[in-house]
Amino acid sequence: MSGTDSRKKLIAEGPVVILVNPQMGENIGGAARAMANFGLAELRLVDPRDGWPNPIAKANAAKADHIIDNVQVFDLLEDALADLQFVYATTARQREMLKPVRGPAEAASTLRTRHRAGERTGILFGRERAGLESVEVALADEIVTFPVNPAFASLNIAQAVLLMSYEWMASGEIELPIHQPPSEPAEKDDLFGLFGHLEGALEDMHYFRPSHKKATMVENLRNIFQKAGLSKQEIHALRGVVATLEGRKTRPRRQHGDEGA
């Protein structure tokens, strides 16, 4: 999936994303893109290795300019967190500290609740190679960790931001961007017409063998189509298929009350 749509409302809210000492512009740009995909808007950098602004980050942000152009840069993590009221630190390592540990869905739900209450919140992400130091995790209120392969637990920063951004969006009441067009459910009479048509065609092809099992075979077939919850359009399509297999140019129309096709 790609591109933006200027005709649609841009969602830009939620917790601040803080990257500590990010080393690669590609990851900063990827993080910004992930944030934009899922409605987050405020990105802060603490002591980025290559300084700021970073043209590589902008190139990799896939036009998430509303985020990249408003990045705030801090020398100290304490300054980046100063105006926030509740912060999660992301880590995959066991920490020797008494701090609650949450999964991403639970953490996102907590962030959503606090956001609705008007609180300023944030999510803290560490360095590409080493993650967050314990002294940095200690500045957060709680830890959020991901259910990953224990033998391969290290996540790329942009991937970690993507996961938390998705959970943030999923915790809200946002409609999906595409919708299944409505279809008219079939009436039972339509379904009975399909039964008669199909069973008549199968009878002509000597499908019901041995004959004493025909009733059970018919019952099984009818149960299959009953459970499918077919629409009128789908029944019309199926009857067209049966008519084609019969060698007819058009499917027969079943009149109300007819028993066969």
What is the Cβ-side half-sphere exposure of residue 145, based on CA atoms within 13 angstroms?
Answer: 18
Full pLDDT tens readout for the chain, 261 residues? 445 555 666 666 799 999 999 999 999 999 999 999 999 999 999 999 999 999 999 999 988 999 999 999 999 999 999 999 999 999 877 777 788 999 999 999 999 999 999 999 999 999 988 889 999 999 999 999 998 887 787 788 999 999 999 999 998 766 656 666 667 778 889 989 999 999 999 999 999 999 999 999 999 999 999 888 888 889 999 999 999 998 876 555 554 444 444
pLDDT confidence of residue 7: 60
> Which stretch of DSSP H or E encloses residue 106?
helix 104-116
Q: Walk me through the domains of the chain, giving residue ranges and CATH numbers.
A: 16-170 (3.40.1280.10), 188-246 (1.10.8)
Q: What is the 3-state secondary structure (H, E, C) of 51-94?
A: CCCCHHHHHCCCCCHHHHCCCEEECCHHHHHCCCCEEEEECCCC
pLDDT confidence of residue 184: 76
pTM over 0.85: no
Among residues 52, 58, 2, 69, the alpha carbon closest in space to that of 27 is found at 58
CA atoms of 111 and 119, how far apart (whole Å):
9
Residue labelled with tokens 């970690």 = 160
pLDDT confidence of residue 186: 84
The CA angle 58-122-67, to the nearest 5 degrees, is: 20
pLDDT confidence of residue 255: 45
> Which stretch of DSSP H or E encloses residue 248?
none
Q: Are strands 72-74 and 101-102 parallel, antiparallel or unpaired?
A: unpaired
Q: Which residues contact 118 (CB under 8 A, 6 or more apart)?
A: none
The residues that bridge with 131 in the sheet, in sequence order, are 127
pLDDT confidence of residue 171: 86
